[in-house]
Amino acid sequence: MGVAPGRDAEGTCGWDDRQAVATFVGCVILVLLAYALQTQHVWEDYFITFRHSRNLAEGHGLLYTPGERVHGFTSPINVLLPAFFHYITGCRTYAPALWLWRMISIAAYAAAGVVFLRLMRGDRRADRITQVFFALYLLSEAKSIAYSMNGQEAAFMLLCLAICFTCALEGMQQRWLLMGVGWGAFMWTRPDGCVYVTAFAVLSLVLEPKAWQQVLAAIAKSAAVCTGLYGPWFTWTWWYYGTPIPHTILAKGTNPETVGLPPLIALGTYLASFWHSACVVFQPIYADLFFGWPAWVGLFGAACALIGCVWCLIPSQDRLGRAASLMFIMLSLYLALIDFKVGLVFPWYMPPVAVCGLLVLARAIHRVASLSPPTRAQAWACGLGTLFLVPMLILYALTVIQIRIQQREIEFGTRVPIGLYLRENVKPNETVYLECLGYIGYFSNAHMLDYPGLATPSVAQLKSRENLSFGEVIPRLKPDWLVLRRQRANDVGDLPGVLDAYEVAKLFDATPRLEQYRTIPGRNYLLWDSQFAVLKRRHDAPAETTSGLPAPVPPTTATEPRAP
């Protein structure tokens, strides 16, 4: 007698079961919506990108500053979809477009989860435990949820990852077309999608070593599909901006501490960066930069990283687990390269790496649950799964608390008011020099000169050509206004004569408000952005040299940014 679709021989429901899928999707909707409503979190970089989106929707071109063609955003889909949403919702404030973006991000996150869970079908006795724990891991992975809901593109990266995993595991020879679509989607989601394309090509060859010729042919066909999908955007950006490479990538430059290192020292430094990058994948946002988290957080990250790295070395028939482990290693090597070259691992790059690690953890649970005797094996599997789930749930809860306070006191309470103050006081032909471009640049709508030059070629050129620091750029460009973090103000103050031409216009200090909170997880992260000084160039100072730069087009009353 045949077995009904979605049920195993014992009558228990497999993941095909519509009720199980609906339950998971419902949980994704509830958890991600709860995070967005609880924290109101909008990542700083979203407003850099959305200023491009707003200008496009209002007819000023896909530009940060109208009249200045700079490719000042990273993700094509993250600039075009919000522009479309902003246009169809009447071009009034950023909120409607952001919430529509969140809705499709939730759909992408849920779809990615369903695809991954369907990959875990096989040994029915162990599948249910594996699937349940992997679903719980997805619903408590803090950075994946945060960077899906705060205006970044993490959910779409995870969906592309799920599609490409499916193609690699089912055989690229048969799935080359869908793999090509997944590769093209990676490129539309983020330009470093080429790294994921390369990683999945390598993975496909590793999974089918005896059919390498057929796999190479499939890779070529998938690459052709990817080129056809992404080629038009690549060509258009080259024509429109003069380069297909986002200026955000060109401006970040290199880490001076690793330039010119002897080969052996450079290799040792890179390997150290690899282990560091693999560990911070499972830690809170910027926990490695702003200390103050408990020691167990680092130990948990190291334990997850260790399992993620060594699982592919353990002999087994676990095709999915070994593939996920190999991807975890390759993507951690990529993060390490960023850390080595730039001196920083960006947390919004980590969700795809984290999900690869979570797949490995799920397969470790599956391995234990498949042992005999069944009852004891399943008990041990549940214990192992809980051992990793509890720290993730704690870190998720602490992240919600941290980000809710950060959004309230730093973003809405400090950076938005700075932007609105500049909006009222900066004249159309004046320039503002700063480092925090997102909120302040969007809500001021002023002509921004940012460091390291994400949307400002003149700053990026000075930084790369003459290796100028943040403070050393000021006397070269002579901006009309400065917005300085406390730490930057101290650094600039140590440079003779740089601030002589400026006077303090207004101070913004969130520290007293932060002191009212008895406990803030990762408090140092918030303190870093708690104090800002706005300085204005004195009338008796020498004439500035940036008068030839184009001024931004003043927005209409209907599109005026306003405080949340």
Give me the residue spans of the domains in the chain.
253-370, 407-559
Say yes or no to pLDDT of 266 above 60: yes
More confident residue, 13 or 428: 428
pLDDT at 496: 86
pLDDT at 16: 58
pLDDT band at 556 (very low <50, low <70, confident <90, very high): very low
pLDDT at 470: 87
Look up residue 399 and give its amino acid.
T
Contact predicate 178/128, CB 8 Å: no
Say yes or no to pLDDT of 264 above 80: yes
pLDDT at 563: 47
Say how far apart CA 477 and CA 15 lie, in whole Å. Answer: 60
Helix (H, G, I), strand (E, B) or coil at 356: helix
| pLDDT tens digits for range 285-312 | 999 888 789 999 999 999 999 999 999 9
pLDDT at 3: 36
Mean pLDDT of the chain: 88
Mean pLDDT is highest, among 110-124, 210-224, 450-464, for 210-224
- Mean per-residue pLDDT for 489-515? 89
| pLDDT tens digits for range 367-391 | 898 888 888 888 999 999 999 999 9
Return the H-helix or E-strand segment holding 85: helix 76-88
For 167, 419, 480, the CA distances from 502, given in Å and listed in that order, are 59, 19, 9
| pLDDT tens digits for range 41-68 | 999 999 999 999 999 999 999 999 988 8
Say yes or no to pLDDT of 555 above 70: no
Positive or negative torsion for Cα 488, 490, 492, 494: negative
pLDDT band at 543 (very low <50, low <70, confident <90, very high): low
Say how far apart CA 326 and CA 349 lie, in whole Å. Answer: 17
Say yes or no to pLDDT of 421 above 80: yes
- Mean per-residue pLDDT for 406-432? 96
Say how far apart CA 367 and CA 359 lie, in whole Å. Answer: 12
pLDDT at 4: 38
Lookup: tokens for 329: 């290693």
DSSP 414: I
For 106, 113, 171, 242, 533, the CA distances from 228, given in Å and listed in that order, are 28, 28, 22, 21, 49
Contact predicate 137/361, CB 8 Å: yes
Lookup: tokens for 440: 């302040």
Say yes or no to pLDDT of 560 above 50: no
Helix (H, G, I), strand (E, B) or coil at 537: strand
| pLDDT tens digits for range 430-443 | 999 999 999 999 99
- Percent of the chain's residues with pLDDT above 90: 67
pLDDT at 213: 92
pLDDT at 47: 96
pLDDT at 2: 36
More confident residue, 245 or 552: 245
pLDDT at 12: 42
pLDDT at 550: 40
| pLDDT tens digits for range 189-222 | 998 999 999 999 999 999 998 888 999 999 999 9
Least confident of 107-111, 122-126, 458-462: 122-126
